[in-house]
Chains A and B, each alone.
Chain A
Amino acid sequence: MERLEEITHALEGGDLPLEKSIELYTEGLDISKFCDDKLGEAETRVKVITEKQGKLVEEDFEDEEQ
């Protein structure tokens, strides 16, 4: 997101040579695609800490809603 912000700021500045602008724009598109892919995954994972034989371990949490 930081990089995307940097790119937007640079392109808005308006005084980059055309080649550089195209380069940055392409990079922006790549980042956007990467984000879309990453965000598409997943299901909420909830873990709970339990004590097993004196040590604290992580286990899956079962709540009624699941």
Chain B
Amino acid sequence: MSERTIQTERPWSLKNFFFQWEWFLVGLFVIINIINSFLSPYYFTADTFLSTPMNFLDKAFLVYPMMMIIVLGNIDVSVGSIIALSSVIMAVSYNAGLAMPAAMVLCLLVSTLCGFINGFLQAKFKELSSTIVTISTQIIYRGIAYIILEDKASGKFPSWFSFLGWGYVGEIPFIMIVFIIFTVLFAILIHRTRFGRQLFAMGNNSTACRYSGIKTENMLILVSTIMGFMAGITALFLTSRMGSTRPNVASGYELDVIAMVVLGGVSTSGGKGRISGPLLAIFIIGFLNYGLGLFNISAQVLLIIVGILLIVSVMLQNLRLGKQGQKSGAKPR
């Protein structure tokens, strides 16, 4: 954690306006869509843009809370396991006779508790990095899912449950409406509340924040708990889309989500980022996947591409932030 001054408001100028990471993302998004439209003559229809996101929006719920965690300068690699555990518990408890709405609430409770435990451990054992804490809880949560369900699948949900992942309200997919609501909520939370400002302040200098009266431990726990809750939301939609669940669902989700956040211009050293970046990144990676599907490219190549995307976008970020730092005379890290 280095001591940096917190930028409050950058002076508006035409140059600053156009030299924003978001424009690069918008460009990337347009290019991907142009390529996709060459691949499929039926690409540019309203249906494409409404139904394609249904394939990747379940992951998108994780992006904003992950952004909050990365803004704090932390990381969470346990989200995939939280999804698996809460989804498995929901399925098993429903099949054991619990009513479906109650099972869904249980799913959210379990995931929120998992997130709380992550935050609690980090707050109580500050010597430990978030990396090692979430690596161990990652193994534990998925391990519990395996203990509960072994290598079986569980499902047979009531038919209305599939509405979550597959249903439409009028022309618009239900999942997209929920996503828009969460986007607005998180945009307000991150950029328009005191909580949001404290988040960025903590990412810049946690010690100074503690001395100036911010309850940093509570912040850590709160952010991780929100992450857990959103993992539960993802578990609901993902399970609904798949119709059944196994202990190995959502493995590797953390990487995709971290890639989206970082591609969205959020600095991995903490304290920097805007919600518009990750929002664009969700759709860039989502439509990229869709396009690669049109190409008939295998899932393995996709692994490679997401890996490269993650590394390259962090490298570009570092270059960009390094330059900015030099310009404003700040000491480069």
- Asked if chains A and B come from one complex, the reply is no
Chain B contact residues, CB within 8 Å of chain A:
none
